[in-house]
Amino acid sequence: MDASSRIGRRTLLAVGGALPLAACVGGGGTSGSDPTGSGSGRLSYGDDPSQWAQRQVPEGPSRGTVVVIHGGFWRARYGADLGEPLAQDLTARGWTTLNVEYRRVGNGGGFPQTFDDVHAALELVQGPGPVVTLGHSAGGHLAAWAAGRLRTGEWTGQVEVTHVISQAGVLDLTAAYRAGLGSGAVHDLLGVGPEDPRYDLVDPRRQVPLEVPLWAVHAPDDGQVPISQSVDYVTAATAAGGDAELAEVTGGHFDLIDVDSAAWTRIVQILDGISPA
């Protein structure tokens, strides 16, 4: 990606105070030739047009699977095309990737549909090795939630997350609700305030400690999701005996999904340090 392409993309990402997260629309990826096997291709996990994931398999042995979960404050105007460059880069580095689309607020998502979809997509993971959830912004929330979802008793399955990388994730839904992040995005997602017990099921801050390592990658100059979301989560998780680490980077909110950025290099370094299962 050249400099002019990066500038154009970041301009799109930053447009509009009411659209504070990534502003590319629609589903990404292309249909593949192996929809049911273990090779590359688009996999459906339901009948809705948003219930799919694009799997890419590297040449040679796979290092494990990275499940890419896009952001966009859980809203339908943002789609899995945001995660496609990340998935392509990681596949070239030897990872099997699963770039997940899911129902969002405005196209049938919310509670519990959004969570049901991410859970169902995770159950598509095949093969040995670590299972890493990697999510940006609202996707960072879903990546962290996914690692603890089977403990809640509301979702049952076979695929367990082994590592989490949250890219400027919304890791405290209660604080995000009270701060009005994303023009009320948390209320739009859940339909209720923090006093409702559903927060106990889906708020990562209330689920510490996770049983797996989590890296909270965040920039102090993030103007969309404050770094306090990551700092406070890591503080609470480590105090509870969890394995959580804050990784500060530069570049605001969007460098974390720019594969030519220093922030992305830091994320790749974290993945390089994950040992095969």
The confidence score (pLDDT) of residue 276 equals 82
In order of 115, 151, 205, the CA distances from 208 in angstroms are: 18, 11, 6
In order of 103, 229, 236, 255, the CA distances from 61 in angstroms are: 32, 36, 37, 29
> Is it the case that residue 22 has pLDDT exceeding 70?
no
Per residue in 76-95, pLDDT (tens digit) is 999 999 999 999 999 999 99
> Is it the case that residue 30 has pLDDT exceeding 60?
no
> Is it the case that residue 17 has pLDDT exceeding 60?
no
Per residue in 57-78, pLDDT (tens digit) is 999 999 999 999 999 999 999 9
Task: Give the pairing type, strands 65-69 and 96-100.
Answer: parallel
Percentage above 70 pLDDT, the chain: 86
Task: For the domain covering 34-272, report its CATH number.
Answer: 3.40.50.1820
> Is it the case that residue 149 has pLDDT exceeding 90?
yes
What value does the mean pLDDT take over residues 16-29? 32
> Is it the case that residue 148 has pLDDT exceeding 70?
yes
Confidence of residue 23 (pLDDT cuts 50, 70, 90): very low
Cis preceding linkage at 112, omega within 30? yes
Confidence of residue 277 (pLDDT cuts 50, 70, 90): low
The confidence score (pLDDT) of residue 126 equals 93
Confidence of residue 275 (pLDDT cuts 50, 70, 90): confident
Helix ranges, 15-150 (H)? 84-92, 113-122, 138-148
Taking all residues of the chain, what is their mean pLDDT, rounded to a whole number? Answer: 89
Q: How far apart are the first and last CA of the chain?
A: 33
Least confident of 2-11, 126-135, 195-204: 2-11
> Is it the case that residue 222 has pLDDT exceeding 50?
yes
Q: Select from 164, 138, 106 the least CA-distant residue to 22.
A: 138
Task: Give the pairing type, strands 163-167 and 96-100.
Answer: unpaired
H or E element at residue 42: strand 41-44
Sign of CA dihedral 90, 91, 92, 94: positive
> Nearest 5 degrees, angle CA 78-CA 130-CA 212?
85
Percentage above 90 pLDDT, the chain: 84
The confidence score (pLDDT) of residue 39 equals 85
> Is it the case that residue 20 has pLDDT exceeding 60?
no
